[in-house]
Chain A
Amino acid sequence: MNPGWDFHAIAPVIIITATIVAVLIADFFFEYRGRFRTQQIASLGVLAAMIPIITLAVDGGTREMFNGGFVVDPYSLVFQGFFLAAAYISMLLSVDYIGDGDYYQGEFYVLLLTSVLGMLVMSSARDLISIFVALETISIPTFVLAGWRKHDPKSNEAAIKYYLIGVMSSAVMLYGMSLVFGLTGSTLLSEIADKVRTLDSPLLIVAGFLTIAGFAFKVSAVPFHFWAPDTYEGAPTPVTAFLSVASKVGGFVALLSVVWFGFSPNSAMFQPVLWGLAAASLILGNLVALRQTNIVRMLAYSSIAQGGFILVPFAVASDGGAWTSSIQSVVIYTLIYGAMNLGAFAIVIALARRTRSAEITSFAGLGQYAPGMAIVMSMFLFSLAGVPPFAGWFAKFTMFRAALDANTPAATVLAALAAVSSVIAFFYYARVAREMWFHQPPEGADVHPIRTPVALNAAVVICAAIVIAVGVYPQLFARLGDLAAGG
């Protein structure tokens, strides 16, 4: 019996799978000094996987397989492209870090690519089983990656905390999903949406709450955020960059898919919960970030707060027009957030090569001895704060537009909260900039110009280019947002 596979549609997935196997086997043949070649093979595979994404996008239309369980449409293509780009940049960030530190290399890229495979499948998954499997495929390799620095107790602690909270949240999410299956009779999101439209049961609301709670851990929304600062601080910094961007957005795609395709007809299932999560993340993320002295912890709380901004459109969407602008906002914000955050982490990694420290005070005087780095870092910081002409302003703009489009009192309150949070956030981003430009380098610091490896430079250039280009000409990403929401 012919299962009816559309190979063009699943081409990216197949290419990444082939790359994983190729890297694993190739690692066997490279001698110690040539291990970095595994990164080259991995990068090649990621770039190769982008080709079918482009051809599918040009081809247009929606491809459905397996009864609608696996869908390739503009929504999924936008995210798949994003994940591949984020993976490519993450690999650029890690090649020197992992190589110099004498950690396992080939296996690192195998695990990274497996996580990416999960993200690709997640973008196309439209039924609960696929979403669950994709979510676990994203997470389980990252548990191991967080502990990659085996002799560092902080890395060990990062791994175990992340792992235990991760598996517990999976179990909670699964319990919610099992109840959703029981109440609606199907795991297919489209059929679930049909059933919840008319189903009025408190158990359904609890089921929705439990499912969303599981996803909330993944995107480190408050109050499920406790693992994030410790894990971000303890894990190897390229892994942290990957977690904060790719893994987090993977969680958001899962949340978006389930809420939009599955729960949307019945807003009681998700709206109150998401409103609470958004508000809490905005408040707590920004306030605690103010008190941080460690740049990685600050970026961790910053990404919790950014997660709050991304949740705002979810929380205010209701039937009709507001959904479109909400989806657009989420898509655009996640794309821009990815570029800004990866760029910021790239600079943190570059600087840590010299200063061997992650304290904000180690940034002091950077404007004097490494002005290029300081300029780029300031760009990323101000973009995160939402200052024009860097891309962050457009991200915040779409978020406010979605909130105001919804036009309910709850939405307006949330928008006000988001505005206040943005102002608070500006202060801790600006503090780092102040260290760089207005403070002197610490006594006895090495102030020779910093030479960074090619890969790190490439990563910074790509992220900076995106941040500037989209900031000045937002139509680039707005078009993507339109496609995704329309599709």
Chain B
Amino acid sequence: MIVQNIFFWVLALAMVLGAIGVVRSQNVVHAALYLVVVMAGAAAQYILLAAEFVAWVQVIIYIGAVIILFLFGIMLTRAPMGGDTKLDNDQRWPAAVVSVFLAGVLGALLIDAFGKKEIVISGAKGEQLLQVGKAGHLADSIFTAYVVPFEVVSILLLAALVGAVVIARRD
């Protein structure tokens, strides 16, 4: 219990600092790398929550593909990397106020709704009670209850591929 909590807080701190880095950094490539920190932290959190399959999907798809896409996009649009161009618009302060206010409201409501309810992962003898994250259970769920969205997502990915190629082609 204690070890998990320590891991959680260390990861949470890293993720929040990384997130702030994404939205405040004046170098686009640094922002992308801070995003990697956040996503890797998220993957580690999923492992803490006994969702190993989702954690690895996160690493492979998000960090392994999406971030690479971002870096390619940054490279191909020759985004300013020198730090002399301003990357923020004029609405920084109103945005900050909105953001802090929203965080306050959500935090208060979450504490009110869930209090100190615990997530039970391991039983008294240390065996893992939480089985929902196992790949077998996920597969059961996806291929029986959620098979229609699953198939539709494959067509969506095909369409996104076709669309991206059409739009990005040089002609």
Q: Which residues of A are at the interface with B, using a C-beta cutoff of 8 A?
A: 1, 3, 10, 13, 17, 20, 24, 65-67, 69-70, 104, 107, 110-111, 114, 117-118, 121, 125, 129-130, 132-134, 136-137, 140-141, 143-145, 147-148, 150, 159, 183, 201-204, 206
Listed A/B pairs (24) with beta-carbon separation below 8 Å = A1-B144, A3-B143, A13-B148, A20-B158, A69-B145, A69-B148, A104-B166, A107-B166, A110-B162, A111-B159, A117-B152, A118-B156, A121-B152, A125-B148, A132-B149, A134-B149, A136-B156, A137-B153, A140-B163, A141-B159, A145-B163, A201-B113, A202-B109, A204-B113
What residues of A have a CB within 8 angstroms of the CB of B143 in the complex? 3
Q: Is the CB–CB distance between B167 and A144 below 8 Å?
A: yes
Given contacts A202-B109, A203-B112, A206-B106, contact A111 B152 (CB under 8 A): no
In the complex, besides A110-B162, A133-B153, 6 extra interface pairs with C-beta distance below 8 angstroms are A24-B162, A69-B145, A114-B159, A130-B146, A137-B155, A144-B163
How far does the alpha carbon of A150 sit from the alpha carbon of B149 in the complex, in Å? Answer: 31
- Whether B147 is near chain A, meaning CB under 8 Å from some CB there, is yes
| Beta-carbon nearest neighbor of B156 in chain A | A137
**B145–chain A nearest beta-carbon distance, Å:** 5
The 0/1 profile, CB within 8 Å of A marked 1, for residues 131-147 of chain B is: 00000000000011111
CB distance from A59 to the nearest CB of B (A): 20
From B110, B112, B113, B162, give the contact of A111 (CB < 8 A): B162
Interface size of B by Cβ–Cβ distance < 8 Å?
27
Known: A3-B144, A66-B144, A201-B113. A107 touches B153 (CB 8 A): no
Q: Which residue of the partner chain A has the closest CB to B168?
A: A150
**How far is A129 from B143 in the complex, measured between Cα atoms in Å?**
14
Please, how many angstroms separate the alpha-carbon atoms of A134 and B159 in the complex?
13
Known: A140-B163, A144-B166. A129 touches B146 (CB 8 A): yes
Which residue of A1, A66, A144 is within 8 Å of B146 (Cβ)?
Answer: A66
- Chain B's interface: helix, strand, loop or mixed, by majority? helix
Q: Chain B residues near A125 (CB, 8 Å)? A: 148
Interface residues in chain B, defined as those with a beta carbon under 8 Å from any beta carbon in chain A? 105-106, 109-110, 112-113, 143-149, 151-153, 155-156, 158-160, 162-164, 166-167, 171
Complex: chain B residue closest to A138, CB-CB:
B156
Q: CA of A65 to CA of B145 in the docked complex: distance in angstroms?
A: 8
B24: shortest Cβ distance to chain A, in Å? 19
State whether A183 touches B113 (Cβ < 8 A): yes
Q: A111 contacts B163, CB within 8 Å?
A: yes
Q: How far is the CA of A245 from the CA of B8 in the complex (A)?
A: 47
Find chain A residues with CB under 8 A from B160 CB: 140-141, 144
